[in-house]
Amino acid sequence: MTADDAALAEVIAAFAAGHGPVAVDAERASGYRYGQRAYLVQLRREGAGSVLIDPVGCPDLAALGEAIGDTEWVLHAATQDLPCLRDIGMVPTRLFDTELAGRLAGFARVGLGAMVENVLGFALEKGHSAVDWSTRPLPEPWLRYAALDVELLVDLRDALEEELERQGKLEWARQEFAAIAAAPPPPPRKDPWRRTSGMHKVRRRRQMAVVRELWTARDQVAQRRDVSPGKVLGDGAIVEAALNLPANSHALAALPGFGHRMGRRQLEQWQAAVDRARALPENELPQPGQPLNGPPPPRSWADKDPAAAARLSAARAAVTALAERLNLPQENLITPDTVRRLCWEPPAEPAHEAVAEVLAGYGARAWQIELVAPLLTEALRSNGG
């Protein structure tokens, strides 16, 4: 495994001299460590062979990224790996996503193992996908498993390109890949504490404040210790504390998730967070629900705007029928959020050009607009758009 600058320099030279696409994969320690950093990067290129790089020993791979920057990178489920690759200096300008290609081609199962088996006829060794990749030294079987993930990626890419060409979908895929490569990093999530599992049980603002305080305290501890937040305190425990508003650490200890194995100092730390929430003035308590950025939930449309509900129903039916005819998932034909936004606030004059312009504004690609704009225009026109 490449783990120092001298070895990395040899890898960069070899991959710069190689030819054809570069297969790229990364392993994270999700569920074990804080954040989503890469703990192993695997690459393969014709003429250079396969290599495993340790980003702990080689934290800056910008020079490698530049050496292969102009070639096509082949990744499986690219949007999962690109953020952690970007953090270590590796940013592709062109890519081919074999998972997305599989979706567009109509495969029912698009995991890497299933795709390699269905398309190439090989069975990939499985069993190490959920291990702690921050472990050092990494066991030999794990490294062999990781190397296999890039061994057949370029062969899979070539077979999928042929299949997409045969189905007349290759240009669609190219537009999708270009959009992924050009997309900026997503902005930080607003109020991430609201995504605590079980949050739907928490109704009162004072209880929401407890979730916020405990989530924030847990996040700080997890970051400091570099462990997954769930290993510090479970979401279920946070929700229990919010619902019960314990008055002291003794009452807190009686709640599920704050059991007998938790030390007194830890209990006092969590109780301090609960106490902070209990002491907040009314005007500093969180508001229920996130401020809506876009239309309300569709279940409420029939009451709020029956015409919009009719438009959405017609649009969904048309998109479903077309997706089935084209043998691809509806969400890849056009995102449900885009359809909802268009139906909630249609253009004043629902002509094809106006609808196409709205779709483009929401990030739809040219191939998507060409296929769905006529259907959505008709759905708007026939339902009072």
Residues whose CB falls within 8 Å of the CB of residue 314, separated by 6 or more in sequence, listed in order: 378, 379, 382, 383
Residues whose CB falls within 8 Å of the CB of residue 300, separated by 6 or more in sequence, listed in order: none
Q: Which CATH architecture has domain 298-382?
A: Orthogonal Bundle (1.10)
Q: What are the sequence ranges of the domains in the chain?
A: 5-182, 192-279, 298-382
CATH fold match for the domains 192-279 and 298-382? yes
Confirm if 341 and 294 have CB atoms less than 8 A apart.
Answer: yes
Structure confidence at residue 35 (pLDDT):
94
pLDDT digits (tens, 9 = 90+) for 235-262: 999 999 999 999 999 999 999 999 777 8
By three-state DSSP, how is residue 217 classified? helix
What is the bridge-based pairing of β-strands 49-53 and 38-46?
antiparallel
How far, in Å, CA of 267 to CA of 258, rounded?
7
Q: Which CATH number fits domain 5-182: 3.30.420.10, 3.90.1150.10, 3.90.550.10, 2.40.340.10?
A: 3.30.420.10
Structure confidence at residue 383 (pLDDT):
78
* Average pLDDT value over all residues in the chain: 95
CATH topology of domain 192-279: DNA polymerase; domain 1 (1.10.150)
Mean pLDDT in residue range 40-47: 98
Task: Supply the pTM of this predicted model.
Answer: 0.92
3-state secondary structure labels for all residues of the chain: CECCHHHHHHHHHHHHHCEEEEEEEEEECCCCCCCCCEEEEEEEEECCEEEEECCCCCCCCHHHHHHCCCCEEEECCHHHHHHHHHHCCCCCCEEEEHHHHHHHCCCCCCCHHHHHHHHHCCCCCCCCCCCCCCCCCCCHHHHHHHHHHHHCHHHHHHHHHHHHHHHCCHHHHHHHHHHHHHCCCCCCCCCHHHHCCCHHHCCCHHHHHHHHHHHHHHHHHHHHHCCCHHHHCCHHHHHHHHHHCCCCHHHHHCCCCCCCCCCHHHHHHHHHHHHHHHHCCHHHCCCCCCCCCCCCCHHHHHHHCHHHHHHHHHHHHHHHHHHHHHCCCHHHHCCHHHHHHHHHCCCCCCCHHHHHHHHHHCCCCHHHHHHHHHHHHHHHHCCCC
Q: pLDDT at residue 291 above 70? A: no
Q: Which pLDDT band holds residue 105 (cuts at 50, 70, 90)? A: very high
pLDDT digits (tens, 9 = 90+) for 171-230: 999 999 999 999 999 888 899 999 999 999 999 999 999 999 999 999 999 999 999 999
Percent of the chain clearing pLDDT 70 (strictly above)? 98
Residue 243 identity (one-letter amino acid): L
Phi, psi of 376, rounded to the nearest 5 degrees: -70, -35
pLDDT digits (tens, 9 = 90+) for 51-97: 999 999 999 999 999 999 999 999 999 999 999 999 999 999 999 99
Structure confidence at residue 290 (pLDDT):
60
Element (H, E) at 25: strand 19-28
Confirm if 377 and 328 have CB atoms less than 8 A apart.
Answer: no
The 10 Å Cβ neighbour count of residue 326 is: 18
Give residue 68's region: left, alpha or beta (phi > 0; psi -120 to 50).
alpha
